[in-house]
Amino acid sequence: MDHDDITRRTLAHYNLTAQAFFAGTVDHDVSQNIDALLGAIEAPAPYTILDLGCGPGRDLKTFSALGHRAIGVDGSERFVEMARAYSGCEVWQQDFLQLDLPPAIFDGVFANAVLFHVPSAALPQVLGRLFDTLKPGGVLFSSNPRGHNEEGWNGPRYGSYYDWNSWERLVTAAGFGALHHYYRPPGLPRDQQPWLASVWRKPA
């Protein structure tokens, strides 16, 4: 499996469709996920938040409006430009398989609809870098489309689709403790809830 090729092709898709992606997602209500992250952080506010895979900056803008210091990171140069302009926040362009993050700086990492793009063989390394960039006691939020542990190309994008047991095993192996998890959208039967959201803490 060529991880560089996977990254290149997935990012090319997002660069190509950046404007349509923004138009299609800017009004999505992810307040349940934002509240799940912020509600789990025990440090005094305001928080320093890393929005991993920030896309065009929708959630950066929300965190910033709530009074927090939000920094975005994305591999797509188009998304990075758009996120800086839309949110006014600092945004770093980094490929997730080559993350270079400062140690122990963030109170929370918001990984909304992003980690499923990481090939399973590379996920332990990515989770390790997120663990290291969190302060002791810091919180990781993740939301991914769930599945039965299959991975591969879904059209022009690569994805890995885990069930809860596999996801829990992977994230705890990186050193995190599980706080809670839930399925989205809320209020629907489980077979109509394609998203698995989970909240994790780095030991203090």
74-96 per-position pLDDT tens digit: 999 999 999 999 999 999 999 99
Report the alpha-carbon angle 48-25-143, nearest 5: 55
Assign 29 a pLDDT band (cuts: 50, 70, 90).
confident
Query: Residue 9: which CATH number?
Result: 3.40.50.150
48-52, strands of its sheet edge to edge: 90-93, 69-74, 48-52, 106-112, 134-145, 195-201, 177-184
The answer to whether 95 and 116 have CB atoms below 8 angstroms apart is no
Containing structural domain, residue 75: 3-201
Query: Interior CA angle at 190 toward 187 and 193, to 5°?
Result: 70
3-state secondary structure of 188: coil
The structure's pTM equals 0.95
The more confidently predicted of residues 156 and 168 is 168
Q: For the chain, how many structural domains are there in total?
A: 1
Secondary structure class of 53 (helix, strand, coil): coil
